[in-house]
Protein backbone atom coordinates (compact mmCIF):
# COMPACT_ATOMS: atom_id res chain seq x y z
CA UNK A 1 0.00 0.00 0.00
CA UNK A 2 1.38 3.42 -0.97
CA UNK A 3 1.95 5.81 1.95
CA UNK A 4 0.36 9.28 1.81
CA UNK A 5 2.77 12.12 1.07
CA UNK A 6 2.26 13.89 4.41
CA UNK A 7 1.46 12.64 7.93
CA UNK A 8 0.12 14.75 10.81
CA UNK A 9 0.87 14.83 14.54
CA UNK A 10 -2.41 12.94 15.00
CA UNK A 11 -1.22 10.12 12.67
CA UNK A 12 2.05 9.82 14.57
CA UNK A 13 0.68 10.02 18.10
CA UNK A 14 -2.76 8.37 17.88
CA UNK A 15 -2.30 5.88 15.07
CA UNK A 16 1.32 4.66 15.03
CA UNK A 17 0.34 1.18 13.79
CA UNK A 18 -0.91 2.70 10.52
CA UNK A 19 2.47 4.26 9.78
CA UNK A 20 4.13 0.84 10.05
CA UNK A 21 1.48 -0.77 7.89
CA UNK A 22 2.65 0.63 4.55
CA UNK A 23 4.94 -1.37 2.30
CA UNK A 24 7.71 -0.58 2.76
CA UNK A 25 6.90 0.89 6.20
CA UNK A 26 7.52 4.55 6.93
CA UNK A 27 10.59 4.54 9.17
CA UNK A 28 12.05 8.00 8.52
CA UNK A 29 10.75 11.46 7.78
CA UNK A 30 11.25 15.21 7.87
CA UNK A 31 9.39 17.12 10.58
CA UNK A 32 8.54 20.73 9.77
CA UNK A 33 5.89 23.43 9.60
CA UNK A 34 5.44 24.04 6.71
CA UNK A 35 6.92 20.90 5.17
CA UNK A 36 5.17 20.60 1.80
CA UNK A 37 8.12 22.23 0.03
CA UNK A 38 10.71 19.77 1.45
CA UNK A 39 12.81 17.96 -1.14
CA UNK A 40 14.35 15.56 1.38
CA UNK A 41 11.91 12.64 0.72
CA UNK A 42 12.89 12.59 -2.95
CA UNK A 43 16.56 11.88 -2.38
CA UNK A 44 16.23 9.85 0.80
CA UNK A 45 13.71 7.50 -0.81
CA UNK A 46 16.03 7.11 -3.80
CA UNK A 47 18.89 6.29 -1.41
CA UNK A 48 16.80 3.76 0.57
CA UNK A 49 15.75 2.01 -2.61
CA UNK A 50 19.28 1.98 -4.06
CA UNK A 51 20.62 0.43 -0.84
CA UNK A 52 17.82 -2.15 -0.63
CA UNK A 53 16.66 -0.83 2.75
CA UNK A 54 12.97 -1.71 3.25
CA UNK A 55 11.83 1.67 4.57
CA UNK A 56 10.14 4.85 3.34
CA UNK A 57 10.88 8.47 4.21
CA UNK A 58 7.82 10.74 4.56
CA UNK A 59 6.90 14.34 5.38
CA UNK A 60 5.54 15.01 8.87
CA UNK A 61 3.62 18.25 9.20
CA UNK A 62 3.88 19.06 12.90
CA UNK A 63 3.00 22.49 14.39
CA UNK A 64 5.26 23.88 17.15
CA UNK A 65 2.74 23.19 19.94
CA UNK A 66 2.76 19.44 19.10
CA UNK A 67 6.46 19.09 18.33
CA UNK A 68 7.68 17.68 21.67
CA UNK A 69 4.98 15.00 21.98
CA UNK A 70 5.37 14.11 18.30
CA UNK A 71 9.10 13.40 18.50
CA UNK A 72 8.52 11.39 21.70
CA UNK A 73 6.09 9.26 19.63
CA UNK A 74 8.73 8.34 17.03
CA UNK A 75 9.98 5.15 18.79
CA UNK A 76 6.47 3.75 19.24
CA UNK A 77 5.65 4.49 15.60
CA UNK A 78 8.64 2.35 14.56
CA UNK A 79 10.82 5.20 13.30
CA UNK A 80 14.59 4.76 12.94
CA UNK A 81 15.07 8.50 12.97
CA UNK A 82 14.03 11.80 11.45
CA UNK A 83 15.20 15.08 10.06
CA UNK A 84 14.00 18.32 11.61
CA UNK A 85 13.50 21.53 9.68
CA UNK A 86 12.01 25.05 10.12
CA UNK A 87 10.90 26.02 12.77
CA UNK A 88 11.79 23.11 15.07
CA UNK A 89 15.59 22.76 15.09
CA UNK A 90 16.16 24.56 18.41
CA UNK A 91 13.20 22.77 20.01
CA UNK A 92 14.66 19.48 18.80
CA UNK A 93 17.81 20.12 20.81
CA UNK A 94 15.67 20.47 23.93
CA UNK A 95 13.56 17.41 23.03
CA UNK A 96 16.31 14.81 22.51
CA UNK A 97 17.75 12.73 25.35
CA UNK A 98 21.35 13.03 24.14
CA UNK A 99 22.84 15.60 21.76
CA UNK A 100 26.29 15.37 20.25
CA UNK A 101 28.81 18.07 20.94
CA UNK A 102 28.39 19.74 17.55
CA UNK A 103 24.58 19.97 17.90
CA UNK A 104 24.97 21.52 21.36
CA UNK A 105 27.46 24.09 20.06
CA UNK A 106 25.14 24.89 17.12
CA UNK A 107 22.13 25.23 19.43
CA UNK A 108 20.04 23.00 17.18
CA UNK A 109 19.38 19.48 15.93
CA UNK A 110 18.49 18.55 12.34
CA UNK A 111 18.95 14.77 12.63
CA UNK A 112 17.37 12.47 15.22
CA UNK A 113 18.28 8.82 15.70
CA UNK A 114 15.93 6.55 17.66
CA UNK A 115 17.89 4.30 20.00
CA UNK A 116 15.41 2.07 21.85
CA UNK A 117 13.11 4.53 23.61
CA UNK A 118 15.71 7.31 23.53
CA UNK A 119 16.30 10.06 20.98
CA UNK A 120 19.83 11.07 19.99
CA UNK A 121 20.35 14.44 18.27
CA UNK A 122 22.92 15.56 15.68
CA UNK A 123 23.37 18.53 13.38
CA UNK A 124 24.66 17.97 9.84
CA UNK A 125 24.01 21.50 8.47
CA UNK A 126 27.51 22.87 9.11
CA UNK A 127 29.41 19.82 7.81
CA UNK A 128 27.00 19.70 4.85
CA UNK A 129 27.78 23.32 3.97
CA UNK A 130 31.50 22.63 4.24
CA UNK A 131 31.29 19.68 1.83
CA UNK A 132 29.16 21.73 -0.57
CA UNK A 133 31.70 24.55 -0.66
CA UNK A 134 34.54 22.14 -1.34
CA UNK A 135 32.55 20.55 -4.14
CA UNK A 136 31.26 23.78 -5.72
CA UNK A 137 34.38 25.93 -5.47
CA UNK A 138 37.24 23.43 -4.97
CA UNK A 139 38.39 25.11 -1.74
CA UNK A 140 38.25 24.22 1.92
CA UNK A 141 36.47 26.44 4.42
CA UNK A 142 39.63 26.50 6.53
CA UNK A 143 41.44 28.43 3.75
CA UNK A 144 38.77 31.11 3.40
CA UNK A 145 38.02 34.53 4.80
CA UNK A 146 34.28 34.22 5.34
CA UNK A 147 31.57 36.88 5.63
CA UNK A 148 28.47 35.14 7.03
CA UNK A 149 25.09 36.90 6.70
CA UNK A 150 22.45 35.74 9.20
CA UNK A 151 25.01 34.27 11.61
CA UNK A 152 22.50 34.64 14.45
CA UNK A 153 19.87 32.36 12.85
CA UNK A 154 19.65 28.58 13.21
CA UNK A 155 21.54 27.65 10.02
CA UNK A 156 23.85 30.65 10.40
CA UNK A 157 24.92 29.59 13.85
CA UNK A 158 25.62 26.01 12.72
CA UNK A 159 27.69 27.36 9.81
CA UNK A 160 29.58 29.75 12.12
CA UNK A 161 30.43 26.82 14.42
CA UNK A 162 31.63 24.82 11.41
CA UNK A 163 33.83 27.67 10.12
CA UNK A 164 35.28 28.17 13.60
CA UNK A 165 35.94 24.46 14.14
CA UNK A 166 37.71 24.31 10.78
CA UNK A 167 39.71 27.38 11.93
CA UNK A 168 38.87 29.35 8.79
CA UNK A 169 41.26 32.20 7.99
CA UNK A 170 38.80 34.83 9.15
CA UNK A 171 35.13 34.87 10.14
CA UNK A 172 32.92 37.93 9.98
CA UNK A 173 29.59 37.37 11.71
CA UNK A 174 26.81 39.60 10.36
CA UNK A 175 23.28 39.74 11.75
CA UNK A 176 20.35 42.13 11.92
CA UNK A 177 20.03 41.54 15.69
CA UNK A 178 23.57 42.27 16.80
CA UNK A 179 23.20 40.87 20.34
CA UNK A 180 22.86 37.32 18.97
CA UNK A 181 26.26 37.42 17.26
CA UNK A 182 28.00 39.25 20.10
CA UNK A 183 27.17 36.24 22.27
CA UNK A 184 28.20 33.81 19.52
CA UNK A 185 31.48 35.64 19.03
CA UNK A 186 32.31 35.15 22.72
CA UNK A 187 31.58 31.42 22.44
CA UNK A 188 33.70 30.97 19.31
CA UNK A 189 36.60 33.23 20.32
CA UNK A 190 38.68 30.47 21.99
CA UNK A 191 38.78 28.59 18.67
CA UNK A 192 40.45 31.55 16.98
CA UNK A 193 42.88 32.26 19.76
CA UNK A 194 46.47 31.39 18.98
CA UNK A 195 49.52 32.61 20.81
CA UNK A 196 51.62 31.86 17.74
CA UNK A 197 49.36 33.21 15.03
CA UNK A 198 48.33 36.56 16.49
CA UNK A 199 48.34 38.97 13.52
CA UNK A 200 47.39 42.58 12.85
CA UNK A 201 43.85 41.66 11.73
CA UNK A 202 41.25 40.23 14.11
CA UNK A 203 40.24 36.77 12.88
CA UNK A 204 36.75 36.83 14.38
CA UNK A 205 34.51 39.89 14.26
CA UNK A 206 30.80 40.65 14.63
CA UNK A 207 29.37 43.55 12.63
CA UNK A 208 25.92 45.08 12.13
CA UNK A 209 23.97 44.46 8.92
CA UNK A 210 24.96 47.83 7.40
CA UNK A 211 26.29 48.73 3.97
CA UNK A 212 29.45 50.55 5.03
CA UNK A 213 30.55 47.90 7.53
CA UNK A 214 29.81 45.20 4.95
CA UNK A 215 31.69 47.00 2.15
CA UNK A 216 34.79 47.20 4.29
CA UNK A 217 34.67 43.51 5.25
CA UNK A 218 33.85 42.25 1.75
CA UNK A 219 36.90 44.02 0.33
CA UNK A 220 38.99 41.62 2.40
CA UNK A 221 36.90 38.47 2.08
CA UNK A 222 37.03 35.37 -0.13
CA UNK A 223 33.48 34.15 0.31
CA UNK A 224 30.08 35.61 1.15
CA UNK A 225 27.63 33.09 2.64
CA UNK A 226 23.95 34.01 2.93
CA UNK A 227 22.30 32.14 5.81
CA UNK A 228 19.45 34.60 6.25
CA UNK A 229 15.94 33.65 5.25
CA UNK A 230 15.91 36.57 2.80
CA UNK A 231 15.55 35.25 -0.74
CA UNK A 232 13.29 32.29 0.08
CA UNK A 233 10.53 34.22 -1.69
CA UNK A 234 11.10 35.73 -5.15
CA UNK A 235 9.36 38.85 -3.83
CA UNK A 236 12.02 39.44 -1.15
CA UNK A 237 14.21 42.56 -1.47
CA UNK A 238 17.96 41.99 -2.13
CA UNK A 239 19.67 40.63 0.98
CA UNK A 240 22.54 43.08 0.43
CA UNK A 241 23.03 45.93 -2.00
CA UNK A 242 24.18 44.57 -5.40
CA UNK A 243 26.83 47.29 -5.40
CA UNK A 244 28.68 45.31 -2.69
CA UNK A 245 29.10 42.27 -4.94
CA UNK A 246 32.43 42.04 -6.78
CA UNK A 247 34.01 39.55 -9.25
CA UNK A 248 36.65 38.39 -6.75
CA UNK A 249 34.04 36.95 -4.35
CA UNK A 250 32.71 33.44 -4.08
CA UNK A 251 29.03 33.63 -3.16
CA UNK A 252 27.17 30.76 -1.48
CA UNK A 253 23.44 31.22 -0.92
CA UNK A 254 21.99 28.60 1.46
CA UNK A 255 18.56 29.37 -0.03
CA UNK A 256 17.56 26.72 -2.55
CA UNK A 257 13.85 27.21 -3.14
CA UNK A 258 12.70 28.64 -6.46
CA UNK A 259 15.78 28.00 -8.65
CA UNK A 260 18.24 30.89 -8.89
CA UNK A 261 17.89 33.25 -5.95
CA UNK A 262 18.04 36.98 -6.40
CA UNK A 263 21.42 37.05 -4.65
CA UNK A 264 22.82 34.46 -7.07
CA UNK A 265 21.46 36.38 -10.05
CA UNK A 266 22.97 39.65 -8.84
CA UNK A 267 26.29 38.09 -7.82
CA UNK A 268 26.57 36.29 -11.18
CA UNK A 269 25.89 39.59 -12.96
CA UNK A 270 28.72 41.14 -10.92
CA UNK A 271 31.06 38.38 -12.15
CA UNK A 272 31.27 36.41 -8.88
CA UNK A 273 31.36 32.58 -8.79
CA UNK A 274 28.13 31.44 -7.16
CA UNK A 275 26.28 28.39 -5.90
CA UNK A 276 22.87 27.90 -4.31
CA UNK A 277 21.89 25.80 -1.29
CA UNK A 278 21.11 22.57 -3.16
CA UNK A 279 24.61 21.23 -2.51
CA UNK A 280 24.27 21.90 1.21
CA UNK A 281 20.85 20.23 1.20
CA UNK A 282 22.28 17.16 -0.53
CA UNK A 283 25.30 16.83 1.75
CA UNK A 284 23.48 17.45 5.02
CA UNK A 285 21.02 14.74 3.91
CA UNK A 286 23.81 12.33 2.96
CA UNK A 287 25.40 12.87 6.37
CA UNK A 288 22.05 12.15 8.09
CA UNK A 289 21.79 8.92 6.08
CA UNK A 290 25.30 7.94 7.21
CA UNK A 291 24.36 8.60 10.85
CA UNK A 292 21.17 6.50 10.59
CA UNK A 293 22.71 3.54 8.76
CA UNK A 294 26.40 3.71 9.63
CA UNK A 295 27.34 3.23 5.98
CA UNK A 296 28.27 5.56 3.10
CA UNK A 297 25.32 7.31 1.48
CA UNK A 298 24.77 6.69 -2.26
CA UNK A 299 25.59 10.32 -3.00
CA UNK A 300 25.24 10.22 -6.80
CA UNK A 301 21.86 8.47 -6.58
CA UNK A 302 20.71 11.14 -4.14
CA UNK A 303 22.07 13.94 -6.30
CA UNK A 304 20.34 12.64 -9.44
CA UNK A 305 17.03 12.32 -7.57
CA UNK A 306 17.35 15.83 -6.14
CA UNK A 307 18.28 17.45 -9.44
CA UNK A 308 15.59 15.66 -11.41
CA UNK A 309 12.79 17.04 -9.21
CA UNK A 310 11.66 20.62 -9.72
P1 LIG B 1 16.09 31.32 11.17
O2 LIG B 1 16.61 30.57 12.33
O3 LIG B 1 14.71 31.86 11.23
O4 LIG B 1 17.12 32.54 10.91
C5 LIG B 1 16.80 33.55 9.99
C6 LIG B 1 17.99 34.48 9.86
O7 LIG B 1 17.69 35.42 8.84
C8 LIG B 1 18.30 35.29 11.12
O9 LIG B 1 19.69 35.50 11.19
C10 LIG B 1 17.56 36.60 10.85
O11 LIG B 1 18.12 37.73 11.54
C12 LIG B 1 17.81 36.74 9.37
N13 LIG B 1 16.85 37.62 8.73
C14 LIG B 1 15.53 37.41 8.57
N15 LIG B 1 14.98 38.44 7.90
C16 LIG B 1 15.98 39.33 7.65
C17 LIG B 1 16.04 40.58 6.98
N18 LIG B 1 14.96 41.14 6.44
N19 LIG B 1 17.25 41.20 6.90
C20 LIG B 1 18.36 40.62 7.42
N21 LIG B 1 18.36 39.44 8.07
C22 LIG B 1 17.18 38.80 8.18
O23 LIG B 1 16.13 30.45 9.83
P24 LIG B 1 17.12 29.24 9.46
O25 LIG B 1 16.49 27.95 9.79
O26 LIG B 1 18.46 29.56 10.01
O27 LIG B 1 17.16 29.36 7.87
C28 LIG B 1 17.88 30.42 7.27
C29 LIG B 1 18.16 30.10 5.82
O30 LIG B 1 19.00 28.94 5.73
C31 LIG B 1 16.91 29.79 5.00
O32 LIG B 1 17.02 30.46 3.77
C33 LIG B 1 16.98 28.29 4.77
O34 LIG B 1 16.41 27.91 3.52
C35 LIG B 1 18.49 28.10 4.73
N36 LIG B 1 18.88 26.71 5.03
C37 LIG B 1 19.34 25.97 4.01
C38 LIG B 1 19.73 24.67 4.24
C39 LIG B 1 20.25 23.87 3.09
O40 LIG B 1 20.44 22.66 3.27
N41 LIG B 1 20.52 24.47 1.96
C42 LIG B 1 19.65 24.12 5.52
C43 LIG B 1 19.17 24.92 6.55
C44 LIG B 1 18.78 26.22 6.30
P45 LIG B 1 17.63 38.09 13.03
O46 LIG B 1 18.40 37.18 13.95
O47 LIG B 1 18.02 39.50 13.20
O48 LIG B 1 16.16 37.86 13.08
User: Looking at residue 36, what is its pLDDT?
Assistant: 93
| Same domain assignment for residues 35 and 46 | yes
Residue 116 has pLDDT above 90, yes or no: yes
- Per-residue pLDDT, averaged over 62-84, amounts to 97
C-alpha–C-alpha distance, residues 168 and 130, integer Å:
11
| Same domain assignment for residues 81 and 169 | no
- CB of 156 closer than 6 A to ligand 1? yes
- Per-residue pLDDT, averaged over 161-172, amounts to 97
- CB of 276 closer than 6 A to ligand 1? no
- CB of 176 closer than 6 A to ligand 1? yes
Cα 216-222-226 angle, rounded to 5 deg: 80
Q: Is residue 303 one of the residues assigned to a domain?
A: yes
- Per-residue pLDDT, averaged over 15-25, amounts to 87
pLDDT band at 224 (very low <50, low <70, confident <90, very high): very high
Q: Is residue 150 one of the residues assigned to a domain?
A: yes
Mean pLDDT of the chain: 94
| Same domain assignment for residues 44 and 15 | yes
Q: How far is CA 199 from CA 196, 277, 279, in A?
A: 9, 33, 34
CA-nearest of 158, 173, 175, 150 to 90 is 158
User: Looking at residue 107, what is its pLDDT?
Assistant: 97
| Same domain assignment for residues 195 and 108 | no
Q: Which residues span the domain enclosing 98?
A: 6-123+284-307
Q: Distance from the CA of 153 to the center of ligand 1, in angstroms?
A: 5
pLDDT band at 112 (very low <50, low <70, confident <90, very high): very high
| Same domain assignment for residues 228 and 209 | yes
| Same domain assignment for residues 267 and 219 | yes
Residue nearest to atom 41 of ligand 1 (CA): 277
Q: Distance from the CA of 148 to the center of ligand 1, in angstroms?
A: 11
User: Looking at residue 201, what is its pLDDT?
Assistant: 72
| Same domain assignment for residues 98 and 146 | no
Percent of the chain with pLDDT over 70: 97
Percent of the chain with pLDDT over 90: 88
| Same domain assignment for residues 138 and 109 | no
Q: Is residue 210 one of the residues assigned to a domain?
A: yes
Best mutation site among 40, 83, 155, 241 for ligand 1, i.e. most ligand atoms within 8 A of its Cβ?
A: 155
User: Looking at residue 309, what is its pLDDT?
Assistant: 82
Residue 27 has pLDDT above 80, yes or no: yes
Give the DSSP per-residue string, the chain: -PPPSEEEHHHHHH-HHHHHTSSSPEEEEEEESS-TT--HHHHHHHHHHHTT---EEEEEE--GGGHHHHHHTTTTTT-SEEEE-TT-HHHHHHHSSEE-HHHHHHT--SEEEEETTEEEEE--HHHHHHHHHHHHHS--GGG-EEEEETTTSHHHHHHHHHHHHTT-SEEEEEESSHHHHHHHHHHHHHHH--TTT--SS-SEEEEES-HHHHHHHHHT-SEEEE-SSTTSSTTSPPSS-GGG--TT-EEEE---TTSS-HHHHHHHHTT-EEE-THHHHHHHHHHHHHHHHSS---HHHHHHHHHT--
29-61 CB burial, b ≥16 within 10 A, e <16: bbbbbebeebbbbbbbbbbbbeeebebbbbbbb
Q: How many domains does the chain have?
A: 2
User: Looking at residue 195, what is its pLDDT?
Assistant: 60
What is the domain-level CATH number for residue 183? 3.40.50.720
pLDDT tens digits, 263-306: 999 999 999 999 999 999 999 999 999 999 999 999 999 999 99
| Same domain assignment for residues 131 and 116 | no
pLDDT band at 24 (very low <50, low <70, confident <90, very high): very high
- Nearest-atom number in ligand 1 for the CA of 176 is 47
| Same domain assignment for residues 58 and 98 | yes
User: Looking at residue 193, what is its pLDDT?
Assistant: 80
- CB of 160 closer than 6 A to ligand 1? no
Q: Is residue 141 one of the residues assigned to a domain?
A: yes
- Nearest-atom number in ligand 1 for the CA of 128 is 40
- CB of 126 closer than 6 A to ligand 1? no
Residue nearest to atom 16 of ligand 1 (CA): 230
| Same domain assignment for residues 176 and 264 | yes
- Per-residue pLDDT, averaged over 233-254, amounts to 95
Residue 197 has pLDDT above 80, yes or no: no
Distance of CA 287 to the CA centre of its chain: 11
CA-nearest of 10, 9, 6, 32 to 84 is 32
pLDDT band at 200 (very low <50, low <70, confident <90, very high): low
- Per-residue pLDDT, averaged over 91-106, amounts to 97
| Same domain assignment for residues 142 and 261 | yes
Amino acid sequence: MEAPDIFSAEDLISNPARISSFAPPVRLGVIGDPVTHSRSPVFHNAALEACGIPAQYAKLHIPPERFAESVRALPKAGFLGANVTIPHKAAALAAVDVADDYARASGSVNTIVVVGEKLHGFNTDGPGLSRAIREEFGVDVRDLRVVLLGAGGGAGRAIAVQCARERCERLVLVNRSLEKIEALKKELAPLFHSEHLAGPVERLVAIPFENEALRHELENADILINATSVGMSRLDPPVISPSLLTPNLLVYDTVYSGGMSRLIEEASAAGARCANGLGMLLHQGALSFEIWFNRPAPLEVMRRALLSTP
